[in-house]
Structure 1
Amino acid sequence: MGRPKRNDADAFFDSDLADLPVAARWREWMLRIEAAIFAATSPVPRETLARIVGDDARLDDLIADLQAELRARPYELAFVAGGYQLRTRPRFASAIRLAHGDRIEDAGPPALTRTEMLALAGIAYLQPATRAALSRHAGREISRDVLGALKRHGLIAAALRAPEPGAPLAWVTTGRFLEAFGLASLRELPDLERLQDEGFDPSNESRLDRLWPMVDADNEGEDGGSFEE
């Protein structure tokens, strides 16, 4: 795939920086990438970043250098939900929530009850999934209130009406779900069949951490820590 065509605004932007020494040019490209991602409210696609560096720039190497530079910082450059995003590291999630509550999306997954987390896991693996299907999967009733809470957090959305009696809503996860759990795509979900082969029971919420290894381990307690009943 070639580079996107330049519009009139692009014509005034010097992406190549050919007049700079090699080291200074590389540094400026790194800073531009960081600035573009820092200013974004959602993950920045690779194609967008390619527009702000020169034709001869090795974007993957620039991103790798930037990631290496951020290793000592409380945030990292990660590929999530189809783009790049600066994200605070999971071990700082509790400090961010203490200071800002759930108003800061980059604080990781929002505080969920164990039933909400169980329903979210069911939707992630079964989607599109109806409430009845989620209840069967969980081995307990998944209420409309539970789904409403997940929807308010922006983690799920109603995708369609299932071809069943009563045409119930079928639910899917959203881009916000990928962002919250640090996933590039749904393909990065833990392999449920492998976990089940190892004895994991998806209806047993006491081992939900097996499904979500990306959740802040520092907050795990006997009842899941990161989640609130």
Structure 2
Amino acid sequence: MSEGGNAQIIPFVLEDETGEGNEAEENPALRLHIAEAVRMAEAIVFASAEPVTERALVARLPEGVDVPLVMNELHALYEKRGVNLVRVGDGWAFRTAGDLAFLMSRDAVQQKKLSRAALEVLAIIAYHQPVTRAEIEEIRGVETSKGTLDTLMETDWVRLRGRRRTPGRPVTYGTTDKFLDHFGLSEIRDLPGIEELKGAGLLSVRMPSNFSIPQPPADPDELTPDEDPLTDIDLEELGLLTPGGGDD
């Protein structure tokens, strides 16, 4: 299992607002039903190579199970263990506890480092998404090669979102759940703000007074009003789909 950040989720508590025991606590049969659902959810997430969405859990757990309640309890069970249950986008996954990441370093595969240009483009996409290549170049002040964008897409940290409703219908870019997973983020709004970036030494303390960081979208998967979804014809033009609709 790979390393990741801890999710900020309230542990499941078998009490109601008055502090009295709730139905699950008072009903042994219901308590047993929930415990079994927790075991099942644990097995599903453990066996999955990708984060498991709530929709997938609803489809595979017994009908009527309160999935958020079950996942909160499972999260609480793993909160102090060597492996934690964390949120990754709209899914759940097991990850090595953050304070034990050093144990995995000796077995880590050496990754090819991204160029400075790629890191700049990745940061712009993360904070400004949805963003076009022309908009990226305007922000950076230099031309962005197609190879840089291709590299980021090969890492599966960046994806094509749609087409901007402007002349030429340029493609828009955004981040993926794998980007969130790699950087230990539960959602895109967890990206560091100005003060955090300054504290990490990534921004000068002498930044212009009017400097600001754009607010990432609440739902990066949802198209904005000025975007059109990608069609099969678009994918064919971009070389991502073979003529006739078959995947490469």
TM exceeding 0.5: yes
Give the alignment partner of residue 43 of structure 1, picking from 51, 57, 67. 51
After superposition, what is the alpha-carbon deviation per residue over 1:23-44, rounded to whole angstroms, capped at 9, x for unaligned? 5443322111110111122222
* Runs (5+) with no aligned partner, structure 2: 1-27, 205-212, 214-248
How far 1:54 moved relative to its partner?
4.6
Change (3 A) 1:78 1:163: same
- Following superposition, the deviation at residue 206 of structure 1 comes to 3.1
Alignment deviations for residues 156-202 of structure 1 (CA, whole Å, 9 cap, x no partner): 123445567876543222232233234444344445xxx3xx6979x
- Summarize the alignment of residues 24-173 of structure 1 with structure 2, pairs less than 5 Å apart: 24-54=32-62, 57-93=65-101, 95-96=103-104, 98-101=106-109, 112-160=114-162, 169-173=171-175
CA contact under 8 A between 1:131 and 1:143: conserved in structure 2?
Answer: no
Number of equivalent positions: 176
Q: CA RMSD in A?
A: 3.7
* Code of the aligned partner of 1:129: V
Query: What are structure 1's unaligned runs of at least 5 residues?
Result: 1-19, 104-109, 212-229
- Does residue 175 of structure 1 match 2:171? no
What corresponds to 2:208 in structure 1? none
1:86-136 C-alpha deviation (Å, 9 max, x unpaired): 122344456545414279xxxxxx954443222111012222323332233
State how far apart, in whole Å, the 1-side matches of 2:31 and 2:90 are.
30
For the residues of structure 2 that align with 1:136 and 1:21, how far apart are their CA atoms? Answer: 62
1:155, distance to aligned residue in structure 2 (A):
0.8
The structure with the largest helix share of the pair is 1
Partner of 2:239: none
Q: Which amino acid aligns with 1:150?
A: L
How far apart in 2 are the matches of 1:207 and 1:66? 38
